[in-house]
Amino acid sequence: MNMVIEFFRIQEADDAHAIVGREIADAIDLDDAIEMARHLWQTLDMPQRPDAMTISDSEGNKLYSGRFSDPDENCR
């Protein structure tokens, strides 16, 4: 199934979100899409390092939302 993965930055002062990347992936299920998103987070060339992601289906229904760990903390 097609999944839309959006990567974004979060401005802590007012919780504003800015999308820095968007990919469409063909995933078997949600777990597969989450794994793809984590891989893309590490490898995709984006203008800024994203803080979080959302995964939606092709109809725009949000299926997952989560934050990434700070890469300096080594807790991926």
Q: What string of pLDDT tens digits covers the 76 residues of the chain?
A: 899 999 999 988 887 889 999 999 999 999 999 999 999 998 888 888 899 999 999 899 999 999 887 554 433 3
Model confidence pTM above 0.95: no
CA-to-CA distance for 53 and 65, rounded, in angstroms?
Answer: 6
pLDDT (0 to 100) of residue 76: 37
36 SS3 class: helix
CA-to-CA distance for 76 and 74, rounded, in angstroms?
Answer: 6
pLDDT (0 to 100) of residue 3: 95
C-alpha 28: how far from its chain's center?
17
